[in-house]
Amino acid sequence: MEKQALEKLRHALLAWYAAENRRLPWRQSSDPYAIWVSEIMLQQTRVETVIPYYQRFLGRFPQIHTLARADLETVLKLWEGLGYYARARNLHKAAGIVCREHGGRLPEDPEQLRRLPGIGDYIAAALASIAFGRPAAVVDGNVKRVLARLFMEKAAVNDSAAKQRFMRLADEILDRHNPGQFNQAMMELGQRICTPRNPVCPVCPIQAFCRAFQEQSVADFPRRLPSKIPPLRKMVFVLIAREDRFLIIRRPNQGLLGGLWELPGQEFQGRKISPEKMAESVRGLTGLIVTTPKLLGNVRHAYTHFRVSADLYCCRYLEGRIVLAGHTAYQWIHPDESSRYAFHKLIHKMGGMVTECGITKFFINR
């Protein structure tokens, strides 16, 4: 794109953003820490979902030092329901590094930012530009869509081989005098105007520069590689009652859903597990001897790269001492205490099923 056209595009986009941008909580702050928290939360999560989490999180951890001093379980509990829990673990870990090695101040340089846990190219560019005014172009899904239509880019937006191509295009049009505002304007344009379906081209501030609009081919962009159907994993979980309490176990801090609590469970192959086989599995998982488990029902949940179909059983403790295989801690808790612990979404869905069928009251207390 010619230099004069680029200048007009930048001016039009920034003027639109100045007049039309949403007054979101994180946009009212110039604190790099607050901006960092918002960008981490906004990864793969809708703005409307993030707002209450962001406000509660900063209410509890208003400064990077308070986050660094907090225990991980408290952080995960505040994050509960937001998903992608590695974000929370990395945010907590990075806060400690910043406090120990950088005096509690986030680095301004994108290269230094990328060395912190949980900060990749996108977050580094967003922080460097929005918090520190560094000329670093951001490239997320919304920006890719705008660029694909603006330049009629044939590379697929979900093709990792095309990453550098989109980064070059984003860098080409970046307003280096106002990079933070420009990056936010590009993202806002993709979220509100240049949407995946039914884009609102008549009110787009940069339609005059959009090749796809001029060629009446907006619907043909962006291009995508065919998506694979995520595999289905079959799992079983068990609610083990002991008097008026039930057993929960804590996952290791590293890996999927790290640091969260759940019911004892495992993945299995085949169609179904018999109640007798399930009792053997409980002993292998926990070291406990229990009554023959009863099937309560099934819940399903989808993660980014796979789906889960999980059967929930219930049984009563008979004897034995707990032996954990891979998990890091356990608790026998009363149902009223469950709100103190951070559980992942699948366990929350099971909790809803347990409440619905009244098993907590009927089975545990009988």
Residues classed as catalytic: 39
Q: 267 by DSSP, 3-state: which?
A: strand
Say how far apart CA 363 and CA 366 lie, in whole Å.
Answer: 5
Token pair of 125 as six digits: 């560019």
Cα–Cα dist 149/223, whole Å: 10
Torsion region of 118: left, alpha or beta (phi above 0 gives left; psi -120 to 50 gives alpha): left
Q: Is 128 helix (H, G, I), strand (E, B) or coil?
A: helix
Amino acid at 199: P
Place of tokens 């609610």: 239
At residue 265, the 3 state secondary structure works out as strand
User: Sign of the CA dihedral 279, 281, 282, 284?
Assistant: positive
